[in-house]
Amino acid sequence: MNLIRRTITKSLKYRVFRPFYLLLAVILLCSHDLYIKMDTYFLKPNQEATLSLYNGTFENSENIIARDRMQDASILYQGNRLTVDASQWTDKDTTITQFKFTPIEAATYVAGVSTKARNIELTAEKFNNYLKHDGVLDMLEYRTDNDLLDQDAIERYEKHVKAIYQVGDVKTDDWKTVLGYPIEFVTLANPYEKYTGDKLEVQLLLDGAPLANQLVYADYIKVIHDHDHGHGHSHSHGDKKHKHDEGEHHHDEHKHEGKKHSHEHKHDDGKHSHEHDGKKHSHEHKHGDGEHSHEHEHEGKKHSHEHKHDDGEHSNEHDGKKHSHKHKHGDGAHSHTDKSKPEKDHSHTSGQQLRTNDQGIVSVNLPEDGIYYLRTIHMVSVTDSDELTHRSKWATLTFEVTHKHDDSTHTHDHDHEDGIPTWIFILGSVLIIALLFVVFRKKS
């Protein structure tokens, strides 16, 4: 019975899921936007806040950010610019890098993070896919028009991200301060003086000058306040438990709840198993063309991973147990998928597709209450380098928008507010009681 089940599972895995995962892997590979994300962008003075660096999509972070990648991390408020030291960042779930702080003064705050440039080498096909999925359409068009679609790429990329959040009720002008990043969004109004239904103009600066005719994508997630068991809001933060990063890649060390152990692989039959804290744990590998898959069973929950191994480092977390793999493989693409949490096919170009005008300005619609995120990738071809073919600068900006809290726009869903007016209810009740009283008095 188990054999049949395993055969079916294997067949499904290789014939049905694998192509899907591979497609997804390509998409994932090409999509590591960086955002500064917060649970809420409305804080009270002395309320602890967490700035989370989401490296992946706005919904799911896939990588932490190594501290040595950070060129600058700053908090700006009331004209002061504080530098966040590398030691102040912590990693959560090996996927999200966080900085916790408690703003004391009421103001409009700006947070910024700028990363150092890195190189990535991509085959022509992967590069084209990445341009398409990440909306770098001008470069894709250029490659198409000039018959360059078959050319591999070595791209130098750097990411510069900002968030604007409001502490207390005091609105300050810090939102207009330019942090001086190589590429940067600067709003032309305080987002916290804008409300649902308004438009917000944002200027894009490249090396301090307005960047015209640049594609910018703006989207938002609705802020849904539902009380989960963690007793808070949930803002559709999908926590992925995977980490993809470039770096050394070993395959000989795991860590479970702080306990290190190692195991041996037999790579001829592609299978191996081991135990962690008495829990059986089996892996299946296929080390063909740089890909392999894992199957794990943690606390009775089976799930699997498929990998394409390049020069990456990754780690997983299952049921709260930390689990890291280090691999050393050849070059190539590297991605993970987790069957227990099917990935949504995501796009980085959802929402409003905008193009900056001559002054580098886009006008962003704010149709609903939510957390808004803007992203752009400015890419140019490099002709004067033997090492590089392209250079890109990525920028994102996040902020939250809510509706006006006055009587004219108040739309909270509370029955007693919108139902029967109390005075009508009470007046009606008194009249009915009086009428009934008269009737019963006459009867008696």
Partner 1 sequence: MKHQHFRQALFLLLIFVPLLGFAHDVTSADQELLRNGGLWAYIRVGATHMLTGYDHLLFLTGVIFYLNNFIDILKFITVFTIGHCITLIGATYAGITANEHLVDAVIALSVLYKGFENLGGFEKLKVKSPNLLLMVGLFGLIHGFGLSTRLQSFDIGTEQFLVKILCFNLGVEVGQVLALIPIVFIITLSRKHKQFPAFYKAVNWYLVLAGIGLFVYQLYGYFNGYH
Beta-carbon neighbour count of residue 255 at 10 Å? 16
Distance CA 278, CA 308 (A): 29
Comparison of 208 and 232: residue with beta carbon closer to partner 1: 232
What Rg do the C-alpha atoms of the chain give, in angstroms?
Answer: 27
> What would the x/- binding string for partner 1 be over residues 142 to 181, using CB under 8 A?
---------------------------x------------
Comparison of 169 and 257: residue with beta carbon closer to partner 1: 169
Beta-carbon neighbour count of residue 26 at 10 Å? 18
Closest CA to 75 of 45, 40, 39, 51: 51
What DSSP string describes 417-437?
Answer: HHSS-HHHHHHHHHHHHHHHH
Comparison of 39 and 297: residue with beta carbon closer to partner 1: 39
Alpha helices in 13-47 (DSSP H): 18-29
Coil, helix or strand for 267? coil
- Tokens for 264? 């041996």
Angle of the 124-133 helix axis to the 18-29 helix axis, nearest 10: 80
Question: Can residue 227 be called a binding residue for partner 1 (CB under 8 A)?
Answer: yes
Contact range with partner 1 by CB under 8 A, out of 65-73, 148-156, 309-317, 405-413:
405-413
Which residues lie below 8 Å from residue 411, measured CB to CB, with a gap of 6+? Answer: 403
Contact range with partner 1 by CB under 8 A, out of 15-23, 248-256, 273-281, 431-439:
431-439
Comparison of 47 and 88: residue with beta carbon closer to partner 1: 47
**Candidate residues 68, 147, 226, 289; the one interacting with partner 1 per rule CB under 8 A:** 226
Question: Can residue 429 be called a binding residue for partner 1 (CB under 8 A)?
Answer: yes
Comparison of 44 and 280: residue with beta carbon closer to partner 1: 44
Question: Can residue 409 be called a binding residue for partner 1 (CB under 8 A)?
Answer: no
Question: Can residue 100 be called a binding residue for partner 1 (CB under 8 A)?
Answer: no
In this structure, the strands spanning 312-318 and 321-326 are: antiparallel
Question: Can residue 14 be called a binding residue for partner 1 (CB under 8 A)?
Answer: no
**Candidate residues 20, 42, 101, 142; the one interacting with partner 1 per rule CB under 8 A:** 42
Residue 409: CB minimum distance to partner 1, A: 11
Residue 425: CB minimum distance to partner 1, A: 6
Tell me which DSSP letter residue 329 carries: -
Query: 203 - beta bridge partners?
Result: 186, 361
Question: Can residue 416 be called a binding residue for partner 1 (CB under 8 A)?
Answer: yes
Interface residues toward partner 1, by CB under 8 A: 39-40, 42, 44, 47-48, 169, 225-233, 405, 407, 410, 412-423, 425-427, 429-430, 432-437, 439-441, 443-444
